[in-house]
Amino acid sequence: MKDMADEASAVAATSSPKNRVKLLCSYGGKIMPRAVDGHLKYVGGETRVIAIPRDINFTGFLFVFLMPVIIF
């Protein structure tokens, strides 16, 4: 696990904000149609935004994605 952490940290440290992709991850809710116009919306659940380098490998991505959320 330490190798993955080191790899993810090294990739994140060398990437500029321009080379990052932001992912919006929502879970625990439902996708439902809006009553007014029928367009879909996400109701309930939790949402998390993660920014990852564009050149991250799959192992590094999994480490960042599965990292527990730290609340300050």
Per-residue pLDDT band for 14 (boundaries 50, 70, 90) equals low
pLDDT digits (tens, 9 = 90+) for 28-56: 999 999 999 999 999 999 888 888 888 88
Predicted model pTM: 0.49
Contact 49, 25 (CB under 8 A): yes
Per-residue pLDDT band for 66 (boundaries 50, 70, 90) equals confident
Phi-psi region of 28 (alpha: psi -120 to 50; beta: other; left: phi over 0): left
Please give the radius of gyration of the chain, using alpha carbons only, rounded to the nearest integer.
16
SS3 for 45? coil
SS3 for 40? strand
